[in-house]
Chains A and B, each alone.
Chain A
């Protein structure tokens, strides 16, 4: 008993560091979900911002107890940021480090794991206790409950599995400068090409309208999917088949190898429902499937299914909704 009390009240065991991700002085919603996951372990939670413009906003996130800010990471490369993280974790004795399961988070955490000799956990969807977590394997066809033997836990968090932490009006959280750490990085950023979009961001949209191979070509994809997405102020998504056929940009791909989304409402239009696509959207609250093939597997998980010709059904839906 005494033993248990000693440990459970020891704050040192629950000291978390969370990487804040964002751009153009906007914090990514995925970071807010990551803070929620961290707060299920306990406080204190220190948030690290790699862009001081984000510091004040980050200080207002409910659950965050301290902010560390630094600059000079315009294009965050894992090689640059891992030495800083290693230094912070070792000197401040953090027991936990979390990022969202973004491409950035996934490029950083394993490299850091190697430097700390720790086996990270990818895409955590549930915190059972401070050492035990649930994560999906086999494209979400199985859920594994795993217990870590490591002293430091590194994990990426699947944002769609945790609600975002609320933002408060004001904050009294202290903002400090993170130490500067030399990285000897040999990798250089050359250029970037980001997809411009006026629409809500796919990862955090409340409604997603996704198109698949059934749309047959790029013109049809745009002609049928865009009006519905505009009408519902929804993000546009796509199956791998649609992306591979060049109907739309690959940053829109929903699935095991693309984005994992869990909106309130998901329209699967001309999507058959391959395992790898389902892994990316089956936690959506309401799923609507529109497909001309009544045998398509997507109908097995759809809340509402409509068998019909997309060319007729979609314009009618846009008109009437």
Chain B
């Protein structure tokens, strides 16, 4: 007797990957005013994989629930997630506060328990803070199996999931029984675009807005104090050479060969 999958997909609103972030004037973070925000690309892949699992094996999937923790505007990416194929969604509105992975994992744990989720599919990292931690932390808090950097996901009968992971030097395959946590890598799939009719339909799908206290958390207890954010040191401008001979002599000048 196998149980149906209730998939939770956490998505993060981040500065669009194509934009080069600028450091703000106070050197406390990056400039966010007037900057284009989008769904974190890895979250997009996590969502796409969940939708494909549902399309391939609809009998095995009960629902896909998207959740985001962030400012009020994060509802835009939840609407996009609904337009692509998520069934319902939750926004935990924390205003403009920065929420570290440990705090995010604690909030997600309460959402998992609230929704009875048995599979959480996340991106392997957010392209703003580049931590690569949230999925593993949630797995630790729940004491669930974790499969990180997934490049292939297969649901077998009897609630077993096989995940191929990208590791240094190649790939490996692990398996675990539900419930489990999967974090996804770039090569897992190519996310779809939301079509206009689906964007219209998504406006009718549920989007629940909650505050922290609604999920039983009093306040965000961040542990890292950001002292400053700076530009990395710039490289000195190089030279252009006209041909291979000049290139080789320049390499010799620099003692590179």
* Interface residues of A, Cβ cutoff 8 Å to B: 75, 77-79, 82, 102-104, 106-115, 117-123, 132, 136-150, 185-195, 203, 232, 240, 243-244, 249-251, 256-257, 259, 264-265, 275-276, 282, 285-288, 299-308, 313, 316-317, 320-321
Find out whether the CB atom of B170 lies under 8 angstroms from the CB atom of A286: no
B145 at the interface (CB under 8 A from A): yes
Q: Across the interface, which residues of A come within 8 angstroms of B100, CB to CB?
A: 119
B114 at the interface (CB under 8 A from A): no
Find out whether the CB atom of A190 lies under 8 angstroms from the CB atom of B250: no
Known: A144-B226, A257-B185. A103 touches B166 (CB 8 A): yes
Q: A304 — nearest CB in chain B belongs to which residue? A: B250
B147 at the interface (CB under 8 A from A): yes
B196 at the interface (CB under 8 A from A): no
Known: A112-B140, A187-B175. A149 touches B224 (CB 8 A): yes
Q: B181 — nearest CB in chain A belongs to which residue? A: A111
Known: A110-B133, A149-B225. A194 touches B169 (CB 8 A): yes
Find out whether the CB atom of B147 lies under 8 angstroms from the CB atom of A303: no
Q: Across the interface, which residues of B come within 8 angstroms of A136, CB to CB?
A: 130, 232
B112 at the interface (CB under 8 A from A): no
Q: How many inter-chain contacts with C-beta < 8 Å in the A-B complex?
A: 247
CA–CA, A114 to B228, complex, Å?
26
Contact count band on B: 35 or more
Known contacts A144-B229, A187-B174, A250-B151; 11 additional CB pairs below 8 A are A110-B133, A117-B102, A118-B102, A142-B21, A143-B231, A145-B229, A145-B230, A147-B224, A187-B147, A304-B251, A305-B239
CA–CA, A149 to B227, complex, Å?
12
Q: A121 — nearest CB in chain B belongs to which residue? A: B224
Known: A114-B102, A147-B227. A138 touches B137 (CB 8 A): no
Known: A147-B225, A317-B247. A186 touches B170 (CB 8 A): no
Find out whether the CB atom of B20 lies under 8 angstroms from the CB atom of A275: yes
Cβ-neighbour of B136 out of A111, A193, A285, A301 (below 8 A): A111
Q: Across the interface, which residues of A come within 8 angstroms of B113, CB to CB?
A: none
Find out whether the CB atom of B254 lies under 8 angstroms from the CB atom of A256: no
B1 at the interface (CB under 8 A from A): no
CA–CA, A276 to B17, complex, Å?
9
Find out whether the CB atom of B101 lies under 8 angstroms from the CB atom of A250: no
B192 at the interface (CB under 8 A from A): no
Interface of B is mostly: mixed
Q: Across the interface, which residues of A come within 8 angstroms of B232, CB to CB?
A: 136, 140-143, 282
Q: A107 — nearest CB in chain B belongs to which residue? A: B148
Shortest beta-carbon distance from A236 to chain B in Å: 14
Known: A138-B15, A194-B170. A303 touches B254 (CB 8 A): yes
CA–CA, A119 to B225, complex, Å?
11
Find out whether the CB atom of A113 lies under 8 angstroms from the CB atom of B256: no
B113-154 Cβ-contact flags toward A at 8 Å (1 or 0): 000000000001101111111111111110001111101000
Q: Across the interface, which residues of B come within 8 angstroms of A189, CB to CB?
A: 172-174
Known: A122-B130, A122-B131. A192 touches B171 (CB 8 A): yes
Find out whether the CB atom of A138 lies under 8 angstroms from the CB atom of B128: yes
Q: Across the interface, which residues of B come within 8 angstroms of A276, CB to CB?
A: 17
CA–CA, A249 to B12, complex, Å?
29
Q: Across the interface, which residues of B come within 8 angstroms of A114, CB to CB?
A: 102, 105, 136-141
Q: Across the interface, which residues of B come within 8 angstroms of A111, CB to CB?
A: 136-137, 139-140, 146
Find out whether the CB atom of A190 lies under 8 angstroms from the CB atom of B132: no
Q: Across the interface, which residues of A come within 8 angstroms of B227, CB to CB?
A: 132, 145-147
CA–CA, A257 to B139, complex, Å?
22
Known: A110-B101, A114-B136. A250 touches B177 (CB 8 A): no
7 A-B pairs closest in CB distance: A114-B140, A110-B133, A110-B136, A194-B170, A192-B172, A119-B223, A111-B140
Known: A194-B169, A320-B244. A110 touches B134 (CB 8 A): yes
B158 at the interface (CB under 8 A from A): no
Q: Across the interface, which residues of A come within 8 angstroms of B180, CB to CB?
A: 187
Query: Can you list 22 A-B pairs, Cβ within 8 angstroms, ordered by A?
Result: A77-B174, A79-B139, A79-B146, A106-B132, A107-B136, A110-B140, A114-B138, A117-B102, A120-B133, A141-B21, A143-B229, A189-B174, A192-B167, A251-B169, A251-B171, A257-B124, A257-B186, A282-B232, A303-B236, A304-B239, A317-B248, A320-B248
Residue among B15, B130, B174 with the highest chain A CB neighbour number at 10 A: B130
